[in-house]
Structure 1
Amino acid sequence: MAGIVDLHLIGIGTGNPEHLTLAAIRAMNAADLILLPRKGEAKSDLIDLRRAICAEVLTGDTRVVEFDLPVRSTVPPYLDGVGEWHAAIAEVWSAQIDAYLPHGGVLALLVWGDPSLYDSTLRIAERLQRQGRALKVHVVPGITSIQVLTAAHGIALNTLAAPLTITTGRRLREEGWPQDAETLVVMLDGACAFAALPPEGLTIWWGAYLGMPQQCLIAGDLADVGAQIQRRRAELREEHGWIMDIYLLRRTV
């Protein structure tokens, strides 16, 4: 009978080892197994970053195993595709647990940013629990790309006593600017959704590869720098084969 697996979902920031908290380092070294997902050759830098983090902070005999991450369908409807993708990932996790922790133990997964913000690991773990897998889930919070973005630009996340909205590029494209929003943080935008907005009265703070050596920042009135961001983003994606970026938009009038 399979034993209980303590699953630690560890936020690792944006790829800079200096973003790791002491709690993250402790959890990594306490694990029996760390699983690292491979996302294909085009994103080989991402697995390299995780490898480098493990090499830098692991001091004991924690085993590190890599696996191929299933590819999400891009065929609509979106939520159906995500659900099928999560199910496929859950099957892969389950197979790795059976292979390497058949009698239970401590498993760790390294999560970009923080496991609670636009990440699937908590939902996939819950799916496995519903299927009867004996998992105890522990979350180690991490620095988010939002924090790194505002720090890099030296700005406050919100204006005085005002709320903010965090959304995705897909929703911004489909629904436009949220009603009554003053500050908007946009994540997971693969197609520069800001380009569809009327630019007047909007300021943008954009960043790519935040916290990494190739970090790139652009800020200014959206009307002035929007096209520049689109060009630079395309150049960086072509150069590296992948891109991770985020931006903050704020109404200024």
Structure 2
Amino acid sequence: MNELILVGIGTGNPEHLTLQAVRELNAADLILIPRKGEDKADLADLRRMICAQVLTNPAVRLVEFDMPRRDASTPDYRQGVDSWHNAVANAWSEAIGASLPDGGKVALLVWGDPALYDSSLRIAARLTPKPIVRSIPGIMSPNMLAAAHGVALNEIGAPFLVTTGRQLRDHGWPQGVDTVVVMLDGECSFRHLPADGIVVYWGAYVGMPEQIVLTGPLVQMGPRIVAARAAARAKHGWIMDIYLLRRRGNADAGGA
């Protein structure tokens, strides 16, 4: 039976890998590198670059495979995601079976952390035969965003909520919190909120040389973020961004 190691790599900076992550990558027989099309070739390049910098074991093999794309036209979102996860699991199985027919240890480099808004663990559960699965934590993008702006995620003794752009767009500002961290937002869903009284802390490629950060009142910064995001995506062919929204009056609050 194969052992599958999901290695959190943070936001793509090799310096942010933990010592545990480096050790696990060097102990693998095989590292899978997903290809997501020419428009996202940099993502495969980044994974290869990370491996080139941290691998000291020449026996570790890197194998690339084509990553299936989710059909965004499927009316039922969950059904579409389920079908996509099945396709990804099949792609993993085919790559592993072809490269390690007698079994071994396989590693996948997971953006951020496998436990936060990533589906690698759920996809791994669909594999047949089922491998032993281990998750190696990585630096989460909310931590990188807070560090890039020099702010605390939480206010003193107060909760904050991590959600998605889809949830923000469909349901508005979540009740019971003054601070919201928004991930997986390809549509700048903050545009669906009344902007007055909200401060935004936005970052793209956080922790990487390409990092872009913008902050200020949402009513002023919203259009600038939309433009900066579009320009960055056109330049690089992909973008990973995240932002924190905080109701004004609490924008400068920190604490433990």
* TM norm. shorter chain > 0.5: yes
Deviation at 1:239, TM superposition (A): 1.4
CA distance, structure 1, for counterparts of residue 156 and residue 186 of structure 2: 30
Shift of 1:134: 3.5
State whether structure 2 residue 14 is matched by structure 1 residue 11: no
Task: Verify: 1:73 aligned to 2:71, yes or no.
Answer: yes
Q: CA deviation at 1:252?
A: 1.9
Alpha-carbon RMSD across the aligned residues, in angstroms, is: 0.9
* Secondary structure, counterpart of 2:208 in structure 1: coil
One-letter code of the match for 1:160? I
Match in the other structure for 1:63:
61
The whole-number CA distance in structure 1 between the counterparts of 2:160 and 2:131 is 35
Looking at structure 1, the residues matched to 189 and 105 of structure 2 have their Cα atoms a distance apart, in angstroms, of 41
1:66 is paired with a residue whose SS is strand
Of 38, 41, 52, 1:44 maps to: 41
CA distance in 1, matches of 2:106, 2:38: 25
Q: Distance in 1 between matches of 2:236 and 2:131?
A: 37
List per-residue Cα deviations over 1:40-69 (Å, max 9, x = no partner). 111111111000001111111100000000
Work out the CA distance in 2 between the residues paired with 1:241 and 1:215: 15
Counterpart residue type for residue 227 of structure 2: R
Unaligned runs of 5+ in 2: 250-256
**Structure 1 position 191 matched with structure 2 position 187:** yes
Q: Which residue pairs with 1:243 in the alignment?
A: 239
Q: Is residue 159 of structure 1 aligned with residue 158 of structure 2?
A: no
What is the letter of the counterpart of residue 226 of structure 1?
G
Letter in 2 for 1:223: V
Identity %: 59
Specify the SS of the correspondent of 1:127.
coil
Q: Which residue of 2 aligns with 1:174?
A: 170
Structure 1 stretch 93-102 or stretch 83-92: which is displaced more?
Answer: 93-102
- The amino acid across from 2:24 in the alignment is A
Q: SS at the partner of 2:125? A: helix
Structure-2 residue corresponding to 1:27: 24
State the shift of 1:212 in Å. Answer: 1.3
Letter in 2 for 1:101: L
Q: Please, what TM-score do these two structures have when normalized by structure 1?
A: 0.96
Query: How far does residue 196 in structure 1 lie from its aligned partner after superposition?
Result: 1.0
Deviations 1:108-128 (A, max 9, x none): 000000000111110011111
1:146 paired with 2:142, answer yes
Structure 1 residue runs without a partner (length 5+): none
Determine the structure 2 residue equivalent to 1:215.
Answer: 211
Secondary structure at the aligned position of 2:96 is classed as: helix
Q: Which amino acid aligns with 1:22?
A: L
- Measured after TM superposition, the shift of residue 97 of structure 1 is 1.8
Query: For residues 109 and 240 of structure 1, what CA distance do their matches in structure 2 show?
Result: 23
1:201: how far off?
Answer: 1.1
Structure 1 segments of 4+ aligned residues over 4 angstroms from their partners: none
Structural mapping, 1:91-102, within 5 Å: 91-102=90-101
1:115-126 equivalence runs, <5 A: 115-126=114-125
Q: TM-score, normalised by structure 2?
A: 0.95
Amino acid at match of 1:121: S
- Give the C-alpha shift of residue 183 in structure 1: 0.7
Superposed CA offset, 1:89-133 (max 9, x none): 1111111121112221100000000000111110011111xx4x1
| Partner-residue secondary structure (3-state), 1:107 | strand
User: Aligned partner of 1:123: which letter?
Assistant: R
